[in-house]
Structure 1
């Protein structure tokens, strides 16, 4: 998203990040040395369909990035209260149209067919999460338009009154984990 953004939006993202965007290096570490160590250190099923990634806020974005960029490794993802704006969302009431288009295009280019994969998306309606609906709606529409079956291949939930914080995320973890990890 960063590289495809206009110079103005890119500058706002860089300022919000406080430095260079390191998502490619971070994903290389997760998919490489970290996964190798986990699989060597624990009794794991190492295949794509048994490998999940999940995170909240910027970790939700990173989980989506991993799921879409490395479908050979991550067959399941939970993107919880993903911080779709990637900047201070109060700057644009109702969502930044450029960012909404960028997320739509990114999912259109990267998603591909479900092929047994499963994706969870959610957000609340309070604090920072109150700004996520326009972005999430665009992503949801793209996923549906790509032939993914809601409830089977992907799920998107809105938690009324839920805030952008760890207690809210922890409260819904049983539902998230049950859906993401269930066997057909």
Structure 2
């Protein structure tokens, strides 16, 4: 289904205009920067936690939304170019659209972002042509290998247990979401697959399944490789996965990958609209879409 930009703009305008969705409620919430992982800066530079208004006033357990590219997670981040997840979660919670949720923002590695977000499992299974593309990107940043396996292990074995121990969260995988856009959208999908006992909710926004480098070469073997990779999810068992891309810019090249992944998942019993949500937007890539798209993602994922 193609969703036109004007449709999403109208939806967003309605959300923003509703008095019931005013930010504030019982306060403006707060953002805490974790210091517990200062020795793991080579894996993740910074982790912040957004606690929404009213957090801690009751014994309520919260869903947890883990966001990659954490530098862009909150209002005011990166000179105002951000997902504004704190503002959106506050507004959607006040409206009763989503369940009470805290947000964990995990920063990327900057110049080494590709190393952090390129799934090593895909590289290991890939054709020589795909491996050459990946190796070219590894060399471009002056590195010798990917680091995504250690990143997934850090989230699953260190970060999530810390969050569940120190905050009022439900540890259940059906209350735990992972989100990313662009190359981080690829990594959020990989975490959803490779840490599926931990994450039962996932969203990949404008994911670069094609693994483009500066040459923008299509690798015909990749759609079936991604499909086989996602087949390891098995039956949905209550889980939810959001998958989208635009029709413009590099997103236009993601069509065969999204179709292959969605086909494989539906064959496993993932029902569209229930366990699997696929969207095609009349828009461009990743951050160009977030102002109009993010509310819809959160509303479906965290309902």
TM-score of the aligned structures, taking structure 2 as reference length: 0.56
Residue equivalent to 2:224: 101
- Residue 177 in structure 1 maps to residue 177 in structure 2: no
Which residue, 127, 131, 138 being the options, matches 2:249? 127
Q: Which residue number corresponds to residue 91 of structure 1? A: 217
1:47-58 → structure 2 map (5 Å cutoff): 47-58=172-183
Q: In the aligned structure 2, how far is the partner of 1:21 from the partner of 1:86?
A: 14
Q: In structure 2, the residue corresponding to 1:119 is in which secondary structure?
A: strand
Q: How has the CA–CA distance of structure 1 residues 167 and 7 changed in structure 2, closer, same or farther, with 3 Å as cutoff? A: closer
- Give the drift of 1:165: 3.6
Aligned mates of 2:291, 2:147 — CA distance in 1:
27
- For residue 198 of structure 2, the aligned residue among 53, 73, 79 is 73
Residue of structure 1 in register with 2:67 after alignment: none
Q: Which runs of 5+ in 1 are unaligned?
A: none
1:138-159 Cα offsets, whole Å, 9 max, x none, are 1111111111111001111000
Alignment of 1:2-81 (within 5 A): 2-18=123-139, 19=143, 20-81=145-206
Offset at residue 22 of structure 1 (A): 1.6
Shift of 1:37: 2.3
Q: Distance in 1 between matches of 2:227 and 2:289?
A: 27
Q: Rg bigger for which structure?
A: 2
**Separation in structure 2 between the aligned mates of residue 148 and residue 165 of structure 1, nearest angstrom:** 25
Q: Quick check: 1:81–1:123 contact (8 Å CA) kept in 2? A: yes
**RMSD of the TM alignment (CA)?**
1.5
Superposition map of 1:148-167 within 5 A: 148-160=270-282, 162-167=283-288
5+ residue gaps, structure 2, are 1-121
* Equivalent-residue separation in structure 2 for 1:123 and 1:165 (angstroms): 8
Taking the aligned partners of 2:289 and 2:138, their CA distance within structure 1 comes to 24
1-structure distance, mates of 2:222, 2:197 = 27
Tell me which residue corresponds to 2:237.
Answer: 115
State the number of aligned residues. Answer: 177
Q: 1:130, 1:12 → 2: CA distance?
A: 19
SS at match of 1:26: helix
Whether 2:289 is the aligned partner of 1:168: answer yes
2:205/2:286 contact within 8 Å kept: no
The runs of at least 4 aligned residues of structure 1 exceeding 4 Å deviation read none
Which 10-residue stretch deviates more, 37-46 or 127-136? 37-46
Q: Looking at secondary structure, tell me which structure has more helix per residue.
A: 1
